[in-house]
Structure 1
Amino acid sequence: MEKDVLEKFRNQLKEKQEEILEEVGKTLSEMTDQTTNIPDPNDRATVESGRSFELRIRDRERKLLSKIDEALNRIDEGTFGVCEDCGEDIGLKRLNARPVTTLCIDCKTIQETKEKSKGL
């Protein structure tokens, strides 16, 4: 892959990484600020539901951060954009849509088909 294209992906990944870390900081700050006792059970349930939702989002972002780190390492190692299953290049359309991917569209489709057949 060309050096300028790799740098574009590196910058895109780093921007997303910074964005996630910024949101984590905001969430932590908001949750520590909301330590007041809420006497009304309905209000408390609403607050707890919101916190639970926020924590689920942050957990997904934590997993994404790990994938971003792995993608940045692949850029450094020169393996970014190469399918880990078949060794073929991953298409730029797919990488633009999901820069953390490790599978080309064909291998991903096969993987999903296998997962669906196991679930049935």
Structure 2
Amino acid sequence: MKSFTGSFIQECKMQLLAAKTDILNRVRNSRQEFATLDKAGGDEADQTMTLMAENDFLTAQSRMKELLLEIEFALARIQSGRFGICEETEEQIEIERLKALPWTRLSIEGAEIRESARRRFAR
């Protein structure tokens, strides 16, 4: 398998930086929206709706934090020269996969190996 070109890595870096900016904007916007929620009292239905909104907010924040970390790790791999190398197989990740998910750490084969191991140990 041939190695990645500098322009491909730069393209991925730009994608990662754009995704990072988007996520940071979404985090800021969702925090502002959450801050405007009326959390004071109300009847049981109002309190339930507030709790559900808080749960949705926390879940979304957690997911965005995880994705932001993956993006930061991918940017660090670009800096270190390890970008596009599967953590499981140590082989090059498929270009199509990196175009779709530039923060991925695993090739398709590596993802299958991890999933198989996860299922085996989940029993």
Specify if TM > 0.5.
Answer: yes
The match for 1:5 among 3, 8, 20 is 8
CA RMSD of aligned residues (A): 1.4
Letter in 2 for 1:108: A
Q: Once the two structures are aligned, what percentage of the paired residues are identical?
A: 28
Q: Is the 8 A contact 2:85 2:105 kept in 1?
A: yes
- 1:7 alignment partner AA: Q
Query: Which whole-Å CA distance do the structure 2 matches of 1:8 and 1:71 have between them?
Result: 13
Which aligned segments of 4 or more residues in structure 1 are displaced greater than 4 angstroms? none
Q: CA deviation at 1:86?
A: 2.4
The 2-side partners of 1:72 and 1:8 are apart by 12
Instruction: Provide, for residues 7-33 of structure 1, a one-character-per-residue CA deviation record: whole Å limited to 9, x for no partner.
Output: 111111111111111111112212222
Q: 67, 75, 80: which is aligned to 2:78? A: 75
- The reply on whether 1:60 has 2:70 as its aligned counterpart is no
Whether 1:85 aligns to 2:92 is: no
TM-score by length of 2: 0.89
Normalising by structure 1, what TM-score?
0.91
Matches within 5 A, 1:1-120: 1-120=4-123
Counterparts of 2:85 and 2:20, CA distance in 1:
22
User: 2:13–2:75: 8 Å Cα contact kept in structure 1?
Assistant: yes
Q: Conserved in 1, the CA contact under 8 Å of 2:87 and 2:110?
A: no
Distance in structure 2 (CA, Å) of the matches to 1:12 and 1:48: 35
State the distance in 1 between where 2:90 and 2:39 align: 54
- How far apart, in 2, do the equivalents of 1:3 and 1:68 lie? 19
- Consecutive unaligned residues in structure 1, runs of 5 or more: none
Count of residues in Structure 1 that have an aligned counterpart in Structure 2: 120
8 Å contact kept, 2:84–2:92: yes
Distance 1:7 1:30 in 2: 35
Q: Which runs of 5+ in 2 are unaligned?
A: none
Q: Does the CA contact (< 8 Å) of 2:87 and 2:106 recur in 1?
A: yes
